[in-house]
């Protein structure tokens, strides 16, 4: 029972980690929370659905992140760079507007109905681990989530570009004085974050349903995670995503009546106890 609970919460947290760490990365570099991230994730899910119909799930898992990385590059060049002298709140609002537009375009093409994607043959069915039968797809989800999380950590920890990203996130002005090109890093980070959202979208297909409201649900969850994790802290976001997944899953088991409110209660509690979140996020301005 407990093992099942933890496994389920890890599966949910895997998706959330990919999205929330993308948000936290952009925030670290640009001080902007991308309110359009939910729409990018939704685009990933719908594109994944289309590509999976044509060429199968595995192709979708490769093609969609590449397409979305290109979208991220466009987002960087067309929105973040021209607006980098505007206030961060204004840029955040612009991302909100762009997210709404993107969401509406997706609904225009795909209609307002929910879609579902079948897991590929190897990942359907379930395996028995320690006398517990568990769907293979969720194990795959956990592996992907934790794997990308580990890759992200390795990149941030051990590569020069990762070092630069951490430096800019910690203190943008000093980092720039030391000759770090924040624009180039931002291009990398924005495309990476969009690609992660794409992976999350494709992975969400067989796990959750693909529907027109998924962008708002996901962005609200991610915002809660980012606030709980301490705005801009990637480590905090990862821990918060795990916590969020656990609370969400445990809530739906033990408190089914108010399950949809449990994340908000968590948010309020964290705000009361530690207004800055659990990670040591950089305080904005």
User: Within 13 Å, how many C-alpha atoms sit on residue 46's CB side?
Assistant: 24
Choice from 40, 188, 227, 242 touching other proteins (CB under 8 A) = 227
Candidate list 1, 2, 113, 283; residue touching other proteins; CB under 8 A: 283
Q: How far apart are CA 117 and CA 195, in angstroms?
A: 19
Verify binding: residue 168, other proteins, rule CB under 8 A.
Answer: no
CB closer to other proteins out of 36 and 205: 36
**Subset of 90-109 contacting other proteins (CB under 8 A):** 90, 92-94, 96-101, 103-105
Nearer to other proteins, 86 or 184 (CB): 86
The CA distances from residue 171 to 150, 153, 217, 283, in Å, are: 24, 19, 32, 11
Stretch that binds other proteins, among 66-74, 165-173, 226-234, 239-247 (CB under 8 A): 226-234
Q: By CB neighbour count within 10 A (0-12 exposed, 13-18 middle, 19+ buried), where does 238 fall?
A: buried
Gap between the Cα atoms of 64 and 232, Å rounded: 26
Q: CA 143 from chain center: how many Å?
A: 16
Count, residues near other proteins per rule CB under 8 A = 39
Q: Can you tell me whether residue 129 is helix, strand or coil?
A: strand
Q: Which stretch binds other proteins (CB under 8 A): 125-133, 189-197, 243-251, 269-277?
A: 269-277
| String marking each residue 206-225 x if it binds other proteins according to CB under 8 A | ----------x---x--xx-
CB 57 within 8 A of CB 175: no
Binding residues (CB under 8 A) for other proteins: these are 31, 33, 83, 86, 88-90, 92-94, 96-101, 103-105, 216, 220, 223-224, 226-227, 231, 257-258, 260-261, 264, 267-268, 271-272, 275, 283-285
């Amino acid at each position: 029972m407990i093992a099942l609970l933890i496994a389920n919460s890890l599966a949910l947290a895997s998706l959330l980690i990919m999205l929330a760490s993308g948000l936290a990365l952009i925030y670290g570099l640009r001080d902007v929370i991308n309110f359009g991230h939910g729409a990018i994730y939704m685009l990933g899910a719908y594109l994944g659905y289309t590509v999976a119909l044509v060429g199968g799930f595995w192709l979708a898992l490769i093609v969609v992140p590449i397409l979305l990385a290109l979208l991220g590059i466009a987002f960087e060049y067309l929105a973040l760079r021209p607006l980098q002298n505007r206030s961060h709140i204004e840029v955040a609002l612009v991302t909100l507007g762009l997210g709404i537009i993107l969401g509406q375009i997706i609904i225009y093409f795909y209609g307002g109905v929910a879609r579902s994607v079948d897991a590929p043959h190897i990942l359907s069915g379930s395996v028995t681990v320690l006398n517990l039968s568990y769907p293979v797809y969720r194990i795959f989800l956990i592996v992907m989530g934790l794997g990308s999380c580990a890759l992200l950590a390795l990149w941030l920890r051990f590569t020069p570009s990762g070092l630069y990203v951490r430096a800019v996130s910690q203190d943008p002005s000093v980092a720039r004085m030391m000759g770090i090109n924040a624009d180039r890093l931002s291009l990398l980070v924005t495309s990476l974050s969009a690609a992660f959202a794409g992976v999350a979208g494709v992975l969400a297909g067989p796990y959750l349903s693909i529907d027109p409201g998924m962008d708002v649900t996901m962005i609200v969850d991610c915002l809660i995670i980012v606030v709980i994790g301490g705005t801009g802290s990637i480590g905090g976001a990862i821990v918060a995503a795990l916590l969020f997944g656990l609370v969400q899953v445990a809530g739906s088991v033990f408190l089914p009546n108010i399950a949809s409110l449990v994340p908000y209660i968590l948010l309020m509690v964290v705000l009361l106890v530690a207004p800055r979140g659990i990670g040591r996020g950089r305080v904005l301005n």
